[in-house]
Every structure is written in C-alpha cells, then in structure tokens.
Amino acid sequence: EDQVTQSPEALRLQEGESSSLNCSYTVSGLRGLFWYRQDPGKGPEFLFTLYSAGEEKEKERLKATLTKKESFLHITAPKPEDSATYLCAVPQGGSEKLVFGKGTKLTVNP
C-alpha cells in the first residue's frame, strides 16, 4: 500500500533558526513527489515537484531534496511568514490520485 509519512508533526523555530522537514514514502513506481504549503483556512499552495533521486529545487528560503526513500524540505533562516502546514504527497501507483502525508505544522517565532 502506498504510504507517505511526515515528521515531525509540529515544529517550532525561532526566526533565523534553520531546520528540515522529512517526508518518507513507499510507492510502487514514483511518478513525482509534491510539496505544498497550506495556510489556515486556505487551499494548499504548490511549492515543488521532484521526480528523481538526487534532484533538488529551491524557492527563496526553501530547498527540497529527494532520495529513493524520502524527501527533505530544508528551511534556511526562516521568517514568521513561513509559518504554515507543509504537506508532502505522491501519486498513488497507477492513478492520478495523490496520497498525502499528515503534514508538518511549522511555527516560526519572531
């Protein structure tokens, strides 16, 4: 069964304190791994798609990396506006449906 597990469930950082979020997955035939950001009361906002082990993508203070078993979302010198829930998802084997992790709720304190 395809599974996505995110850790930690919640993370509190001070402004400027860099850290990483983890997304481990088991899926038959990876066809992409997606990272989204979700603010309270809003729909998920697309951040990155990674397709193959070793791939990295960056956007402002965020960098996503991918291995054969997991992905990391690195946050460098975070700011309070980076506070959100970060979701990881993979397409379910043989379909276009996404399997989501439960998310990591990030809080960045000023």
Partner 1 sequence: GAVVSQHPSRVICKSGTSVKIECRSLDFQATTMFWYRQFPKQSLMLMATSNEGSKATYEQGVEKDKFLINHASLTLSTLTVTSAHPEDSSFYICSAARTQETQYFGPGTRLLVL
Taking CB under 8 A as the rule, does residue 41 contact partner 1? yes
> What is the closest distance, in whole angstroms, from the C-beta atom of residue 16 to partner 1 in the complex?
28
What is the number of residues in the chain? 110
Taking CB under 8 A as the rule, does residue 60 contact partner 1? no
Give the whole-angstrom CA distance, residue 34 versus residue 91: 9
**Binding segment (CB under 8 A) for partner 1, from list 19-27, 60-68, 71-79, 97-105:** 97-105
3-state SS assignment for residue 81: helix
Tokens 């997304």 label which residue?
Answer: 23
Asked if 89 and 33 touch (Cβ cutoff 8 Å), the reply is: yes
> What is the closest distance, in whole angstroms, from the C-beta atom of residue 18 to partner 1 in the complex?
25
With CB under 8 A as the contact rule, the residue among 23, 30, 103, 104 that binds partner 1 is 103
Taking CB under 8 A as the rule, does residue 23 contact partner 1? no
Amino acid at residue number 84 = A
Give the whole-angstrom CA distance, residue 11 versus residue 32: 25
Residue ranges that bind partner 1, judged by CB under 8 A: 31-32, 34, 36, 41-46, 49, 87, 96-98, 100-103
